[in-house]
Structure 1
Amino acid sequence: MAKLRSIIKIEGTLDDLTFYKGKQGYLVKTKRGVIKNRIQSDPAFARTRENGAEFGNAASAGKLLRRAILDLLVDAKDGLVTSRLTQVMAKVKNADTTSLRGARNVALGLQTVQGQTDLKGFDFNANALLGVVLRSDFTLNTTTGEVSITNFIPSQNLDLPEGATHVSFISGVLNIDFETRIKELQLSPVTNMPIDGLATSVTLTPSAVPSGSGNQCFFLKVAFYQEVNAVQYPLNNGAFNALQLIDIV
């Protein structure tokens, strides 16, 4: 590390030199790091290669899941959902107890109870957790994908954001195979209602239950709207919407 003595103060990288501002003023240092070819071939970096391969699998699995439910996710996510989901998928990958280190993967992890437990209950919007937004119990029929909420009173059973006049519910069933990357999502019709004090029952039944190899994932989404002149507008672009993976088998 050396001090930069010049009337021109710069920050950034130029060739093998990095210029930056520190507590001691403007400094310069040479680039450091391990040569890529060495990481790829040197036995000393075997653990690094294994960790990299498994991290890549977790990140790829998270991306596959997010894209598979894009119709639900588009207005019910936070800015860190990608990294948060990758972290969870890494835990799921660790549940694979049959593959060698470096080859553990999400597909095999989700064949275990532990792997499914790690992913179940994931909230795609950390700013609107389903367990906080929805103050009511619900039931799920994993055979039909039907989600039911009985004796639901919108004004009492929701953590209401300011300005919300209406709420919508939708459920979904996703069949996804993280090995073959084949996926199919089926959604229920949207149930929309005013936020009032009337008790009602909400029943969400997907149009079909997709079949195939892999896992069945079940989702529940709560979305808020504000009505102006008989037109409902998404409240704050969906910032208060909740979406959770409520079960996986």
Structure 2
Amino acid sequence: MAKVIAPFQIEGTIDDLNFYMDENNVNRVRIKANSTMTTEKFRNEPAFHKMRMHNQEFAQCTTIAKTFRLIAEVFNSKAKDGSFAGRVNKLLFEILQEDKHNELGSRQFKEGIKTKFGQELLLGFESNKLRPIAQVLKNKKWKIKKYTFNFPNCFPLIDIDWPEEATHVNFNLAIANWNTENNTFRTQYGTPFIFSKSDAEQDITLQGLPPNEYHLHIVFLFIGFSKQRGSHHIPLHRKYNTTSIISYYKH
């Protein structure tokens, strides 16, 4: 059976097509029995116009998503879940829909990302939805100002949600310049701040250095856990870690 690739779930029947969710919760489509549906009919029938336009725009977003997934690739490789790629596609499609100047089928991501609402959709995007920042940093007193992350008076044992095996945690920032006009980027990674679960209360301050180019700057926070064995620190699986977009700046 064919799989539906779209930023929304479709169920029901349209002409000769039946949309449904299979036993694995995958959105699929099949032609009704004795259907005369053909590829040519799908391409030309007015009833499928809106779907064709959505598919055309969604295809644009999946192309851009290949770049977006690489912007903080060093962090994402250490903190992401199985739905990461699909959620990136969905995020970019939502941003594209903020293009209010062009009609359905002609809307552009690069126009949607220029808007205030389009940019705000980036905030809080989690590469690993299993470990969002709100869960990992139980105390919400951290703040971001320009390119500086500050978590004052952090008591590690209480203010951080530790995986069972973890003994140490690594905080770091990445600041990327994304030129959305030509879909290129440059990312600069900061210096890790590493401390132990048993450490005393302390201030955590990360100062990021932005790239020289000024288009759309995106600030990523990485929180990665490890366990100490002898003198070595062994990183935990990426499912325990966090990569979150915590700020952006448009120049």
**Fold agreement, TM-score > 0.5:** yes
Residues 225, 114 of structure 1: alpha-carbon distance in 2 compared, 3 angstrom cutoff: same
Query: Larger deviation: 147-156 or 166-175?
Result: 147-156
Q: In the alignment, which residue of structure 2 is the partner of 1:120?
A: 123
Residues 151, 90 of structure 1: alpha-carbon distance in 2 compared, 3 angstrom cutoff: same
Matched, 1:221 2:222: yes
Q: Following the alignment from structure 1 to structure 2, what is the Cα–Cα distance between the partners of residues 220 and 35?
A: 48
Residues 39, 158 of structure 1: alpha-carbon distance in 2 compared, 3 angstrom cutoff: same
Residues 31, 75 of structure 1: alpha-carbon distance in 2 compared, 3 angstrom cutoff: farther
Contact 2:123 / 2:246 at 8 angstroms: preserved in 1? yes
Deviations along 1:159-216, one digit per CA (max 9) or x if unpaired, are 1110110000011111112330110111110111111241111221224434233x21
Matched, 1:62 2:56: no
TM-score normalised by length of structure 2 = 0.79
Q: In the alignment, which residue of structure 2 is the partner of 1:212?
A: 214
Length, aligned pairs only = 217
Contact 1:164 / 1:226 at 8 angstroms: preserved in 2? yes
Q: Percent same amino acid at aligned positions?
A: 23
1:38 CA displacement = 4.5
Matched, 1:102 2:132: no
Residues 32, 68 of structure 1: alpha-carbon distance in 2 compared, 3 angstrom cutoff: farther
Contact 1:58 / 1:86 at 8 angstroms: preserved in 2? yes
Q: Following the alignment from structure 2 to structure 1, what is the Cα–Cα distance between the partners of residues 169 and 82?
A: 23
Residues 150, 89 of structure 1: alpha-carbon distance in 2 compared, 3 angstrom cutoff: same
Larger radius of gyration between Structure 1 and Structure 2: 1
Q: Following the alignment from structure 1 to structure 2, what is the Cα–Cα distance between the partners of residues 233 and 183?
A: 31
Q: Following the alignment from structure 2 to structure 1, what is the Cα–Cα distance between the partners of residues 109 and 172?
A: 27
Residues 114, 226 of structure 1: alpha-carbon distance in 2 compared, 3 angstrom cutoff: same
Q: In the alignment, which residue of structure 2 is the partner of 1:174?
A: 176
Letter in 2 for 1:77: K
Query: Larger deviation: 157-166 or 132-141?
Result: 132-141
1:46 CA displacement = 3.0
Aligned pairs for 1:136-175 (under 5 A) are 136=139, 137-142=141-146, 145-175=147-177
- Structure 2 counterpart SS, 1:48: helix
- Structure 1 counterpart SS, 2:165: coil
Deviations along 1:13-33, one digit per CA (max 9) or x if unpaired, are xxxxxxxxxxxxxxxx98968
Contact 1:61 / 1:178 at 8 angstroms: preserved in 2? no
Q: In the alignment, which residue of structure 1 is the partner of 2:10?
A: none
Q: Following the alignment from structure 1 to structure 2, what is the Cα–Cα distance between the partners of residues 245 and 70?
A: 13
Give RMSD over aligned pairs: 2.1
Contact 1:165 / 1:227 at 8 angstroms: preserved in 2? yes
Q: Following the alignment from structure 2 to structure 1, what is the Cα–Cα distance between the partners of residues 122 and 232?
A: 37
Q: Following the alignment from structure 1 to structure 2, what is the Cα–Cα distance between the partners of residues 163 and 106?
A: 42
Gaps spanning 5+ residues in structure 2: where?
A: 1-31
Aligned pairs for 1:15-94 (under 5 A) are 34-40=37-43, 45-94=48-97
Q: In the alignment, which residue of structure 2 is the partner of 1:5?
A: none
Deviating runs (4+, > 6 A) in structure 1? 29-33
Q: Following the alignment from structure 1 to structure 2, what is the Cα–Cα distance between the partners of residues 246 and 209?
A: 17
